[in-house]
Amino acid sequence: MSTEKDRVVIFDTTLRDGEQSPGATMTHDEKLEIAELLDDMGVDIIEAGFPIASEGDFRAVSEIAQRSKQAVICGLARAQLPDIDRCWEAVKQSERPRIHTFIGTSPLHRAIPNLTMDEMAERIHETVTHARNLCDNVQWSPMDATRTEWDYLCRVVEIAIKAGATTINIPDTVGYTAPVESADLIRKLIETVPGGDEVVFATHCHNDLGMATANALAAVAGGARQIECTINGLGERAGNTALEEVVMALKVRGDIMPYYTEIDTKKIMHISRRVSTVSGFPVQFNKAIVGKNAFAHESGIHQDGMLKNAETFEIMRPEDVGIAGTSLPLGKHSGRAALRAKLKDLGVEVGDNQLKDIFVRFKDLADRKKEVFDDDILALVTATTDGDSNRLELVNLRVVCGTGGPAEAQLEMEVDGQDQSATCHGDGPVDACFKAVRELHPNKARLQLYQVHAVTEGTDAQATVSVRLEEDGIIATGQSADTDTVVASVRAYIQALNRLMVRRSKMGPGADTREISYKEMG
């Protein structure tokens, strides 16, 4: 029988560590939406942001704290009193707030603020004590713990526990450790540090060597009872431990890992798709659990086995993670009620106005495609959930291209309510179209990312296009789907420009767009 000691707490940091991935910045409304989905899915703790990093981050964390229903809402703070005070201001309206404070303890990280071992130890005591005086639920992290000297790591963990930390998180900040080391480190800390058996130990792994999931599960075997993770493994560099991977590993392999979580796994696929959309980071096809090919079988031997018994090549069912088992049995004669019912089956709840917009797009798509699949419908939802005000709108587009010369784009676009048109030539249809957009709306935005993925199969498949733009340190993404790849490209580019303008206006003229540097931690 499972006990509380067998339970693994899921700490999701998609909105903090995940959003730090270059280009993954989310809008305020998108953060609120993702937080609500995480809460609804059963995530125990949501690290909603880094309140002192910007006014926008503070507002997002504060509003998420007010809206949370079940989850603990956590904010991140450096080992500085103003950081901790700002963090508390943001999370204190949650029914279950947490302050998470950290400092880099390895030799490389101690050198950045130029602190001696003793000076850092004193800083840890002072800041954790201050956080605990504000909040009963305090988490402390020695950043780059896996490269910190063993004796010093034990010393600072003991200081944090005595100062009142209730959770000790051990981060593998650069993805350096291996599973056997991960398990051994947690086990030894619990056994060695006074008070180690009275607090919760957590693990926070990065995927630089592709071992984040393995390291997190090994840490649980070593005694950790909290896993820090993100949806789709989103995060800096190679990313973080993927929530969907550790949760499903514990569920499927309970025979050798007798632990459990409170996650409603049937909601995994929906939130995975939504995070991919708002972050602009497509999920790789062969990604475990949530990738497009995770439950696809092409080999003849595999297909034969699947037809006879699905368990021959599937260790979990698609339905376990929220993947519908059938294609969408709707067509151009289907009504609005049928579309709403299908959306509900896919885990998507929409209001009447949004349904109306999706239905118009659905009818248009059904006229152009022989078969409309579930993924096609989800792509339509993606195209109609952008809450930003749009100063730019695509009105009409005509493209001429081929082998005989440069491509030509004749673009008609609504700019601040007025129709304008331009004709431009370029090295291919997309280049010509983007030049036409820039002619009608001059800008200095740099194209950081342009990706195209087919939503389904066939020559009439919708293409999902992702665009990421950067201008003066502000990053915005756009995503759109259409059976015409060029149209999807233009819409995604325009959406990114609209978001860029919204973010610039919210920050104000002369706003400081830089990120907090490590030197400011001193």
State yes or no: 144 annotated in a binding site: no
* CA separation for the pair 469, 448 (Å, rounded): 6
Helices 336-345 and 352-368 cross at an angle (nearest 10°) of 100
State yes or no: 130 annotated in a binding site: no
**What are the respective helix, strand and coil percentages of the chain, to the nearest 5?**
45, 20, 35
E-assigned strands of 105-218? 138-143, 167-172, 200-205
* CA separation for the pair 103, 496 (Å, rounded): 35
Residue 476's DSSP bridge partners are 469
State yes or no: 17 annotated in a binding site: yes
- Residue 236: φ, ψ to 5°: -65, 150
- Burial call 344-376: b when 16+ CB within 10 Å, e when fewer: eebbbebeeeebeebbebbeebbeebebbbbbb
- Taking alpha carbons only, the member of 269, 241, 212 closest to residue 37 is 269
E-assigned strands of 365-435? 392-400, 407-415, 418-426
* CA separation for the pair 365, 313 (Å, rounded): 34
Contact 173, 206 (CB under 8 A): yes
- Taking alpha carbons only, the member of 189, 220, 193, 188 closest to residue 204 is 220
Give the tokens for residue 343: 């959306």
State yes or no: 333 annotated in a binding site: no
Contact 115, 522 (CB under 8 A): yes
Annotated binding site for Mn(2+): 17, 204, 206, 240
Annotated binding site: 17, 204, 206, 240
